[in-house]
Amino acid sequence: MSYPAYHPHPATRPAAGHTRPVTYVLLIALPAIVAVAALRPR
């Protein structure tokens, strides 16, 4: 039994226009943190 030669794919970079998941996390987390800070009793 023979296997085809292994050729690793080159690391692909996100194409222009694609947003990293970290950006979505920050877009959701930052307003929530600001709201909690604003509602916190002083």
Threshold 0.85, pTM exceeds: no
Question: What span, in angstroms and rounded, lies between the C-alpha atoms of 40 and 42?
Answer: 6
Reported as a single tens digit per residue, the pLDDT across 3-16 is 888 888 887 766 66
CB contact burial 28-38 (16+ within 10 A = b; e otherwise):
eeeeeeeeeee
For range 19-34, the mean pLDDT: 90
